[in-house]
Structure 1
Amino acid sequence: MALTLVTGGTGHLGRDVVDRLVRDGRRVRVFARSPGIRSDVEWAAGDLATGVGLREALHDVDTVINAATCSPIARRGGVRPIDFFRSPSAVDVEGTERLLSLCGEADVRHVLHVSIVGLDQATLPYARVKLAGERLVRASALPWSIVRAMPFYYLLDSLLSSLAWLPVWPVPTTPFNPVDTSDVADHVLTCAFDGQRGVRAEIGGPEELDLVAFARQYRDARRLHRKIVAIGLSEAKARGMGLVVSQGVRGRLRWTDWLQRAYPSMRSAA
């Protein structure tokens, strides 16, 4: 049976991808720094940032789904001044370059790389790092696919949680359509195994709302009493921050439904 390697398989998106691969009866190997506890997949210990264990992890692999990334903002759930000046590249650039090289040596038949919508005009250092990694994939002689996704709901939840202590929330009015990782995982699996290659349809959430509306729904779901102050941004500044609306495929799970799942006590109290 063909073997699929998932990098970043212990992250939010990676876990959903692995779940669907197992559900579909596919043989799965997860590349992670520390093996997990689930017994229905193979585990390969290693680190994309250093390359440790990667050559061995690619043995007999047919398809690679590269869902690995290193976003300091996502890890800490908030923005710090340093994020406007630099972002680590060991995973997303050097790690991607190393992965592509070793995939070529291992005769991997397909590399699917998960990226982000709106990178071309985004100016944040993390976005520039992601774009550099994506360009390496595009230039590769390997059979490759790229799926760009909008930011995930759990990231929006983390960012809004970081504002929860403030009595007033300054929020841009920019249109946006974040998406759930479950919908992205469904799209990734379709693109991984439908025989097509290249830049695939990007995916975003089902609702195109401004960020103020998303913030209000979050505030109401958590029963917080906060004032939201709408802030206007020029289109250029919004795009520079990665605040865009995706084109292509739309997910199914709405933000309000995600909030009900994430905060079940709020739902039962309604």
Structure 2
Amino acid sequence: MALTLVTGGTGHLGRDIVDRLVRAGSRVRVLARTPGVRSNVEWAAGDLAAGAGLQDALHDVDTVIHAATFSPIARRGGIRPIDFFRSPSAVDVEGTERLLACAEKAGVRHFLHVSIVGLDEATLPYARVKLAGERLVRASALSWSIVRAMPFYYLLDRLLAGLSWLPVWPVPTTRFDPVDTSDVADHVVTCAFDGQRGVRTEIGGPEALDLVAFARQYQDARRLHRRILPIDLSETKARGMGFVASQGVRGHLTWTDWLRRNSPEA
């Protein structure tokens, strides 16, 4: 049975990808700095940033799904001034470069890289780091695919939760369509095994709304009452910050339904 290696397999998206592969009867190996307790997958101890354990992790691997990333904003659930000036590249650039080199040596047949919609016009340091990693994949001699996804609901939830202490929320009016990791995982797994290669159709959520609407739905779901101050952004600034609407396939789970499923009382 062909073996699939998943990087980032302990993260939000990675867990959903692994779940789908296991349900489909695939043989799955997860690269992690600390192996987990899940018994229906193989664990490979390794570190993309340090380059440790990659050759062993890729032994006998047919397909790599590279979902690992390091976003300080996602990790802490909020934006700080430093995020407008720099973002670590050890995982997304140097780590991707190491993984590609080792995958080529190991004879991997398909390397699927998970990326982000709108990188070409985005100016935030994390987006530039992600684009640099994506360009390494495009230049690789491996047979590769790239799937770009919109930002995830769980991140939007964290960012809005970080505003809860404010009496007034400054919120851009720009439109975008965040998506649930479960829908992205379905699309990624399909793209990994349908035989097609190259830049694949990007995926976003089922609704393209302005951020003010998403914030109001969040307040309704969390029973918050805060004044929202709409902030107009030019299209150029909005795209620079990654606020775009995807032009590919759409997920199924709406923001309202996600909030209901992930209610603190649920």
Aligned to 1:49: 49
CA–CA separation in structure 2 for the residues paired with 1:106 and 1:115:
23
What CA deviation, in whole Å up to 9, does each residue of 1:106-142 have, x standing for no partner? 0000000000000000000000000000000001110
Q: Which amino acid aligns with 1:191?
A: C
Q: Which amino acid aligns with 2:221?
A: A
CA–CA separation in structure 1 for the residues paired with 2:85 and 2:45:
32
Q: State whether structure 2 residue 223 is matched by structure 1 residue 223.
A: yes
Matched position secondary structure for 1:121:
coil
Q: State whether structure 2 residue 260 is matched by structure 1 residue 260.
A: yes
Matched position secondary structure for 1:39:
coil
Matched position secondary structure for 2:99:
helix
Q: How does 1:167-186 map to 2 (within 5 A)?
A: 167-186=167-186
Provide the identity percentage. 82
Q: Which amino acid aligns with 2:37?
A: I
Aligned to 2:26: 26
RMSD: 0.7
Q: How does 1:183-198 map to 2 (within 5 A)?
A: 183-198=183-198
Q: State whether structure 2 residue 101 is matched by structure 1 residue 68.
A: no
Q: Which amino acid aligns with 1:217?
A: Q
Q: How does 1:107-186 map to 2 (within 5 A)?
A: 107-186=107-186
CA–CA separation in structure 2 for the residues paired with 1:168 and 1:221:
18
CA–CA separation in structure 1 for the residues paired with 2:74 and 2:115:
15
Unpaired stretches in structure 1, ≥5 consecutive residues: none
CA–CA separation in structure 2 for the residues paired with 1:121 and 1:36:
37
CA–CA separation in structure 1 for the residues paired with 2:57 and 2:136:
21
Shift of 1:231: 0.7
Shift of 1:225: 1.2
Unpaired stretches in structure 2, ≥5 consecutive residues: none
Matched position secondary structure for 1:17:
helix
Q: Which amino acid aligns with 2:43?
A: W
Runs of 4+ in structure 1 off by over 3 angstroms are none
CA–CA separation in structure 2 for the residues paired with 1:229 and 1:80:
20
Q: Which amino acid aligns with 1:51?
A: G
CA–CA separation in structure 2 for the residues paired with 1:114 and 1:258:
22
Matched position secondary structure for 1:237:
helix
CA–CA separation in structure 1 for the residues paired with 2:260 and 2:118:
28
| Aligned residue-pair number | 266
Shift of 1:264: 5.6
Task: Give TM-score, length-normalised by structure 2.
Answer: 0.99
CA–CA separation in structure 2 for the residues paired with 1:201 and 1:86:
29
Aligned to 1:236: 236
What CA deviation, in whole Å up to 9, does each residue of 1:167-190 have, x standing for no partner? 000000000100000000000000
